[in-house]
Structure 1
Amino acid sequence: MKTNHLLAASAALVLFAAPARGEWSSCLGGLRHAAAGAGVSQQTVAAATDGLEPNDAVSFMDKQPEFTTPVWDYVAGLVDEERVAEGRVLLQKYSSALHAAEARYGVDPATVVAVWGVESDFGKSFGKRPVVQSLATLACEAPRRNDYWRKEFVAALKILDNGDIRGDEFMGSWAGAFGHTQFMPSTFLGTAVDLDGDGRRNIASSAADSLGSTANFLRKSGWRAGEHWGFEVRLPEGYSGPSGRTHKQPMSFWEARGITRLDGGGLGGGSAGLMLPAGRNGPAFLVTKNFDAIYSYNAAESYALAISVLSDMLRGRPGIQTPWPTDDPGLSRAERRELQALLTRAGYDVGDADGVIGTKTKEAIADYQSRVGLPRNGRASLKVLKALRGG
């Protein structure tokens, strides 16, 4: 759950290194006191915080890709045939847990597995930063929302104190989200379930607990059993009517404005909002309350759309059919790995060809773009890949 501008990152790292030792110690002392006041044992507080130093978490604020990346890049990197194939295998492997979760919470297996795929690539990418360290850093040094980070820090120590997660497996993202489906600590305390029945709610090492916890989260967020998230639609020529995910109207309202399913059929019953993630010249979707439940997991429409489309493809349905309004589409993860391999062959140091477009890859792309006459923006795109293939 992500970097863009090297100068901004460098500046943030300078700020990260600057706080005085006394300020950190004083703030950490306050966090320890708050945790103890919330009932966390002194043994757990000491084990989690003795010798704790800040990390680089603050440098990643304001760089979440769901807010900084074109929607066609974002979706292309998360929803591809590779992820669909793996997701279908896991639907079978964890069918018992998924059906138990559906029976208890009313959320279908494909949606739960789609969340798993987007959040952690099915458990392969939890994040490498200690959760307690990241949250302490953000609570003490973030430029805003310090009260939020303090509450999450205390929640994290409660999790350790309860024994659900061991300290050595409590690793996550820069923001403190952790486990197969990347819960924040406060979300975990209020939502996590012990689906596998071993006495621990452990989304770090139990896929079953993670799947059940995700289904429970979506149920608590308003999921309606048996209702779909929505579907792609066709707008009439020159459509200028209302739109917006939250502008829910009966399907008859949208039919009266000439909106149809892609095959020209009727919209059916219920109500939905018209979502235009790339404007009126791109794909259009009618989305229901279930889309809103997915959105609540991470408040970004591109994120919720990626999960929704992936869930459809796991069911055997097609992905997005309408082209995005760009002449330079985004790349799948396989294509991103190919791009990195070609950059390496061209003499650039981008590290491993892992499909993750980090700082080294962006710098290499930008230099290559300058060399071949493409706009210099460091973006991994089809034009760059085609140029590398032809070079």
Structure 2
Amino acid sequence: MKEVIEEALGLMEKGEPCVLATVIHTKGSTPQKAGAKLLIRKDGSCAGTLGGGCVEGEIWSVAKQLLSTQGDPLYRKYDLNEAFTARDGLVCGGTMFFFIDPLASTGNFQSFATEIVRAYRGEMPAALATVVNSPTGRPKLGSKLLIREDGTVQGSFDNRKLELETIAIGKILAIHGGSRHFKTADDTEIFLEGFTSPPTLILIGGGHVNQAVSKLASLLGFRMYVIDDRVEFADKERFPEAETLVISDYSRGLENVSVNSNTYIVVATRGHRYDDLALAAAIRTQARYIGLLGSRRKTIEIYKNLLKEKVPPERLRGVYAPIGLNIGAITPEELAVSIMAEIIMVRNGGDGMSMKMNTANLDTLMKHEDPDQAL
């Protein structure tokens, strides 16, 4: 998505027209979810994807027509029924809602896109709200509101009540990312997206497990910071993926990095005493996730020590300890998978459970030809 926004900004800076199509809402099984984007240039070439197939082809055709006629934004709904998806061999059956936006026609998108790109680069996080359906015409279809993390706003819906509701949602999305679609009493529909820099993972302790975590987290798009009190362990050769290496006492290392609600911390030092120091420092931050490597017995001992030091119990309740999902991990690499799976679960709001079909689903499928009845 970052690349699509950057490409749109580049085209607008050169004065070249383009259309941005976005999935704003879905129901049921669909090839893409809310937030997926396709940018269509004047010559018909594209960046991004809406999932391919006939739906993407239909959207492309509509966008080309808008480019030739300089038309207004459009709201479109596509039911992915059997007749529609059979042409592509897709097995979906859901419904997709799109907003097709000729960017030059909807005001300040260039300035909004500039801020979005900056947010991706680690500057002020922001959310963009767009009026994607307006049966009454007020607010105007395509109107946009940029909401920054600090609560400042650019743009207007000419409807203060709607703006206040949108700003409240936008401030949350600016911090955590993601998207949200909602409908008002008069059927006006708003689509919001949060834009922030990649999540930051702080690894406290330069041992083998955190080495494996660093490699995997890098593949998952996390920015990496490593803290250790030993020069030879906070080392670029051990952690080539790390953006920053901090050589510091564990009780003070976090003072050298920025920690916010898009930060995740893994405590895995070389012993209980150091874990005490690191965890005590970590729970004073606003990190979204704090995990402690070790057994239940070790966790209990560390908690006892921290409670003696008057650490509030509610702070400890938020710690993921022992760290990771229970997948029977043994090796550092397996532990890294367990740890990163838990972090992804927290970040994306999952439940960590297997998605395996249960026996009842399979029994139903065996009795019925229609697979939908087994869902």
Higher Cα Rg, which structure: 2
Question: Which structure dedicates a bigger proportion of its chain to helix?
Answer: 1
**Which TM-score applies when normalising by structure 1?**
0.24
Instruction: Name which structure has the greater RCO, CA cutoff 8 Å, separation 6+.
Output: 1
Which is strand-richer, 1 or 2? Answer: 2
